[in-house]
Structure 1
Amino acid sequence: MSDETTGNGTEDQTPENDGQQFDRLPATAEDRVVAGRPTREEVVEWWEQRYEVPPETWDGHTFWEKGNGKIWAFAADVPTPSPVEGLGLRILRARQEHWKPSTNAVQRFCGEATKNVVVLEGDEADRFVRGEDQELDRWDGDWGYLVAAHEFEGEREPIGVGLYLHGELRSTVPKGRQEDLS
């Protein structure tokens, strides 16, 4: 049994996730004290394996959990736990079967991604950012959450997260961020 307290003074109980505060992710599984909490190592490895985002992309960032599996990256350090409302950028939803990257994280950190990136052409990109789902039979990569990208002035830029299933690309662009590019 752990000697840590749960915050209520009760000894010898495993600490639980407190969804009202930011808690730093443990560096490795050996450092984990809250059951089910992802580790920094697991998060970095997931981004690398799923999208081939270089691990050094995350250098200088601390990782935090608030809520049940909402993972945030912060380009600084503060004491843990931290009872603030926001801390950095939400990058990932974990603690479920399929982890889901956030739109902000994909736009900010997936410029160098080389795996599970679907490059959308003009009308496809327009439909995607309007929040429309579309048939996309030409994709022959993995199913699941993809980085949707588009070429702007000769440069490939990530524009959001799409869910690819059964030949269909579903846009997950949040309603408040959907745009009409025409």
Structure 2
Amino acid sequence: MKDETADDENWGQQFDRLPETAEDRVVEGRPSRNEVVEWWEERFGIDPATFDSYTFWEKGAGKIWAFNGEVVDPIQVEGLGMRILRTRQRHWKPSTNAVQRFCRDATKNVIELSPGEAKAFVAGHDQQLDWWEGDWGYLTAAHEISGDLEPLGVGLYLHGELRSTVPKGRQEELVKLD
């Protein structure tokens, strides 16, 4: 059991609310709520107001979760809302669920894939896409479906190659993609 007096340590078996600002931080390395919201705005152009009703939590080292509601802090549960981001590494990585949920309105770092490229992406295949002229790093891979641009998942773009990070259990072999 965690020593309840050790508030300045990260404990991987419970969710701890992110501090509002960096000045409020007591656990070294833990991002603040403001830093998380700013990252989504800077990386994908997501309006910060999108996250107004969400609380942010860390469980483990750098696994950030969003919860649309309020609960006691800290809380020992297996899951709380949706895992949205992995921090505590050089480049923060968004989760597939978060990109699919929040990046419908993204204005930056969205790579629009053709039907063939989208099929390859959701099947988990990496592909050479030298035509992309945007940022390198983690992108939202998207495809137009029924007139709307829909986020498919997270891709890692490096040296002209789009690497699919669609989790193996969610990869699909699509027969038809409109």
TM interval, short-chain normalised: over 0.9
The residue that corresponds to 1:21 in the other structure is 14
The residue that corresponds to 1:114 in the other structure is 107
The aligned length equals 174
Question: Quick one: which amino acid aligns to residue 133 of structure 1?
Answer: D
TM-score (norm 2): 0.95
Percent identity between the two aligned chains? 69
Once the two structures are superposed, what CA deviation does each residue of 1:82-133 show, in whole Å capped at 9, x if it has no partner?
A: 0000000000000110000000000001110010000001000000000000
Deviation at 1:181, TM superposition (A): 1.0
The residue that corresponds to 2:36 in the other structure is 43
Q: Which runs of 5+ in 1 are unaligned?
A: 1-5
TM-score (norm 1): 0.93
The residue that corresponds to 1:153 in the other structure is 146
- 1:132 counterpart (125, 128, 134): 125
Deviating runs (4+, > 6 A) in structure 1?
A: none
**After the TM superposition, which of the residue ranges 67-76 and 14-23 deviates more from structure 2?**
14-23
Q: Which runs of 5+ in 2 are unaligned?
A: none
Question: Quick one: which amino acid aligns to residue 90 of structure 2?
Answer: E
Tell me how far apart the structure 2 counterparts of residues 52 and 146 of structure 1 sit (CA, whole Å).
Answer: 12
Tell me how far apart the structure 1 counterparts of residues 3 and 131 of structure 2 sit (CA, whole Å).
Answer: 53
Tell me how far apart the structure 2 counterparts of residues 113 and 107 of structure 1 sit (CA, whole Å).
Answer: 10
Task: Report the structure number with the largest CA radius of gyration.
Answer: 1
Once the two structures are superposed, what CA deviation does each residue of 1:20-71 show, in whole Å capped at 9, x if it has no partner?
A: 1000000001111101100000000000000001101101100000000000
- 2:3 counterpart (7, 10, 15): 7
Tell me how far apart the structure 2 counterparts of residues 164 and 8 of structure 1 sit (CA, whole Å).
Answer: 43
